[in-house]
Amino acid sequence: MNYKKSRGTSINRTLVAQIVFVVVVASAIFVFDRFYSKEHSAFKNVSKNEAALFIDFDNMKKVFAGEVIDGMTVLDALNAAVAVGQIKLIYYVDSGNNTKITEINDHVANEDVQFTFYVNSRKVNSNELNKTHVKQGDKITIRLEITAD
C-alpha cells in the first residue's frame, strides 16, 4: 500500500514540475517577443490583409492602415494616408520618373535631413517610391533622418 502512495506522489510531483516548466518557457517567450520584437508596436493591431504606413518623426507619430489594391506603390500608400490624415505632403516626380519627397506636415527635407522609407524594416530608395509595390501585410515606416556626411 505504501508503494502505491509513494508512486502517486512521484507522478504528481513530475506533473507539477512539467507544468511549471511549460509556464516558465511560455512566459519567457512572451516577454522576449514583447520587448525584443523588431516590429514596432504601432503595427501590432494591423490586419494581415492590409498594409500599414507609420510616420515616425520625433514630434509626430501616426499610423494608417488600409486595403491594398493591385499595382499600389509606396507613393500611392503615402498619398492615401495623407488624404485620410489631412497631412500636408509635397513631392515631385522628375523627368526620369524618380520621386523626391520634400515636405511632410511642416517637416522639410534638406541637405542635413532626409525622409527615409522602410518596407518591412528594409530601407527603400526614396527615388523609387513610385516604383516600389506594396502588398498585403507590408509595413511601411517613414523617418526623418540625419544624412551621412
For 31-64, the pLDDT digits (tens) are: 655 555 444 566 666 667 889 999 999 888 898 9
For 97-143, the pLDDT digits (tens) are: 999 999 999 899 999 999 999 999 999 999 999 999 999 999 999 99
CATH of the domain at 75: 2.170.130.30
pTM of the complete model beyond 0.85: no
Domain identity same for 57 and 126:
yes
Domain identity same for 68 and 89:
yes
Domain identity same for 19 and 81:
no
CB < 8 Å & 24+ apart, contacts of 11-14: none
- CA dist 41 to 30, 44, 86, Å? 14, 5, 23
Domain identity same for 108 and 81:
yes
Please give the residue range of the domain that contains residue 119: 41-146
Domain identity same for 108 and 47:
yes
Range list of β-strands (E), the chain: 50-57, 60-67, 89-93, 99-104, 107-108, 113-119, 122-124, 139-146
